[in-house]
Amino acid sequence: MTKSAPARPILIAGNWKMNHGPAETRAFFRDLRVPELPSGVQLLLFPPALSLAAARSELEQRPEGFPPVSLGVQNIHWEPAGALTGELSAEMARSAGASHALVGHSERRQLFGESDEDTVRKVAATYRAGLIPVLCVGETLEERRKGSLARVLHRQLDAVIGPEGLRTEIATGPFVLAYEPVWAIGTGETATPDDAAEAHGLLRAHLGERLGRTAGDGIPILYGGSVKPKNARELLAAPEVDGVLVGGASLEAESFAQIAAASVSPQG
């Protein structure tokens, strides 16, 4: 398949999950060697919240010419403050140096019971604090086998686009969408480029229907699900794939750099 050249940025994002404390974070950035990237390619990492300061410090010390790396948090609470032991507000994340926040990751939905309603509150909180939301959507293996891909993706997306206030915020941006087939996360299974293209095409069309074509076409859609250096180039070449959300392969500086390098010429 031939990939068109949209005016959207290409995002290479890494979600470290509950890995890499401050010491490991400092070592990662000291080992990171990224090739020269086109201006449209952006790097984004989601370390644990306790490692944000270490990541920010290392990035401030990188030599001139090193590609910029944005930082995000893996989760936020929708309240700005309060008696919510263990939680992190979007405002706190912003003040700690984060520019993005993951919302609705499948592990938050499955392990912690987060609902579509929770994602609405969290996306609203990111905009209130000046963060860029990265909304994760995707189907389970059971839902996929039942042929419910479109229904599940539409439901998860409509939950956030539906409220009039958020529809306006999302349409004017910035907003990032990440498709993560739940059956391919941490399992070693990977959606084929055709699988990714199908899901991303459904999401792109639905964004256009809900927000208007111009606004819908401007939203980057990332693929996340067992992305590795060996499959990154092929996935990035798939239609409507505007980047990747990498899990385990982003923990090592070398493999993350290899995935970033795959974005330089995704069609080979």
Cβ-count burial 10-42 (b if 16+ within 10 Å, e if not): bbbbbbbbeebebeebbebbeebebeebeeebb
- Residues facing residue 64 across a β-bridge: none
Cβ proximity of 73 and 101 under 8 Å: yes
Indicate whether 268 pLDDT > 50.
no
pLDDT given at position 186: 67
pLDDT single digits (tens) 193-246: 999 999 999 999 999 999 999 999 999 999 998 899 999 999 999 999 999 999
Quote the CA–CA distance of 176 and 226 in Å, as a whole number: 19
pLDDT at position 7, please? 74
Q: 10-31+41-58+67-79+115-120+135-262 has which fold? A: TIM Barrel (3.20.20)
Taking 60 as the threshold, does the pLDDT of residue 266 lie above it? Answer: no
Give dist(CA 236, CA 116) in Å, integer. 28
Domains of the chain, residue spans: 10-31+41-58+67-79+115-120+135-262
Q: What is the mean pLDDT of the chain?
A: 93
**pLDDT tens per residue, range 83-106:** 999 999 999 999 999 999 999 999
Close Cβ partners of 30 (under 8 Å, ≥ 6 residues apart):
58
Residue 189: per-residue pLDDT = 72
Tokens for 253? Answer: 């500086």
Q: Is the peptide bond before 174 cis (omega within 30 degrees of 0)?
A: yes
Q: Which residues are catalytic?
A: 105, 180
Write down the pTM of the prediction: 0.94
Identify the band that residue 188 occupies on the pLDDT scale cut at 50, 70 and 90.
low
Share of the chain above pLDDT 90, in %: 83
